Amino acid sequence: MNTKLQRLKVGIAGLGTIGKSLAMALDKGMPGLELHAVAVRDPAKSAQWREMLINPPMIVDFDRLAECDIVVECAPASLMSDIATPVLQAGKKLVVLSSGALLERPELLQLAKDKAAQIIVPTGALLGLDAVTAAAEGVIHSVKMVTRKPVRGLLGAPYLEKNNIKIDGITAPTRIFSGTAREAAVGFPANLNVAVALSLAGIGPDRTLLEIWADPSLERNTHTISVDADSASFSMTIENIPTDNPKTGRITALSIISLLRKIGAPMRVGS
């Protein structure tokens, strides 16, 4: 006898560039999943867009996202606690894009443990996290990442403003930061979630080293990772095409779509 599997309810927190791309992909259909609800700070702004979907989801507040089985956070990092707490309290799965915010809120990880919930950090705009997590089962000696971005993608970062670093008039590649992933998460909260994801996959935010370069000649966000471990040494580079938001690469939304699609797929490739 064939039994139709119940579809998992997906909620989205935030309807910016990534949130809208994800909602549209879910609306077109993914095996085992349905777009159940979205939460935004200003529902009126999203009402017209919602009606463009085949199966419009409910527009709810952040608390009601806990009714979903899986919630994807696509919002500013400052809203992390408001979004994550009710979802984790309900024992559900939370996909986190603002991974840098997790470093400042260790209580969320403890809550996930206590409630048998799960925090999922997607690959996002990076590459090779499968290799890094595999290497972390052994001994990783060092991890370094060099990020190069167009100037417009870095403007307004708190680190630049705090240190009075002006980059809007530079004419050559300029290194604007050198430090740890933890420090970068504080100084560049809208730019360097990729560094935090890398650190969580490997040797942690205090041992993962990072350089950030502003390059006026670039059109793409470029990340190069170098890892030295007892199992392998490897180096990888990715050049991400930005969306309309220069701080976000197009592949970020696709990474989440890929993650969700694997949940209901009959075969999964990659660890």
> Is it the case that residue 50 has pLDDT exceeding 50?
yes
When the pLDDT of each residue in the chain is averaged and rounded to a whole number, the result is 92
Model's pTM, two decimal places? 0.90
Q: Identify whether 141 is a catalytic site residue.
A: no
Average pLDDT score over residue span 152-161:
93
Average pLDDT score over residue span 212-228:
95
* H/E run at residue 252: helix 250-263
Split at pLDDT 50, 70, 90, the class of 74 is: very high
CA-based nearest residue to 99, from 179, 203, 21, 189: 189
- Give the model's pLDDT for residue 44: 79
**What angle is formed at CA 182 by the lines to CA 146 and CA 20, rounded to 5 degrees?**
75
Q: Which CATH number fits domain 8-124+251-263: 3.30.210.10, 3.40.50.720, 3.40.50.300, 2.40.30.10?
A: 3.40.50.720
Q: Break the chain into its structural domains and give their ranges.
A: 8-124+251-263, 129-247
| The pair of three-digit structure tokens given for residue 269, joined into one six-digit string | 């490739």
- Give the model's pLDDT for residue 94: 98
> Is it the case that residue 204 has pLDDT exceeding 90?
yes
Query: Same topology for domains 8-124+251-263 and 129-247, yes or no?
Result: no
Split at pLDDT 50, 70, 90, the class of 164 is: very high
Split at pLDDT 50, 70, 90, the class of 271 is: low
Q: pLDDT of 19-32, one tens digit each?
A: 999 999 999 999 89
The CATH homologous superfamily to which domain 129-247 belongs is Dihydrodipicolinate Reductase; domain 2 (3.30.360.10)
CA-based nearest residue to 128, from 232, 32, 12, 46: 232
Split at pLDDT 50, 70, 90, the class of 3 is: very low
The backbone region for 156, taken as left when phi is positive above 0, alpha when psi lies in -120 to 50, beta otherwise, is left
Q: pLDDT of 86-134, one tens digit each?
A: 999 999 999 999 999 999 999 999 999 999 999 999 988 788 899 999 9
Q: Given the residues 136, 223, 255, 257, select the one marked as catalytic.
A: 223
Split at pLDDT 50, 70, 90, the class of 13 is: very high
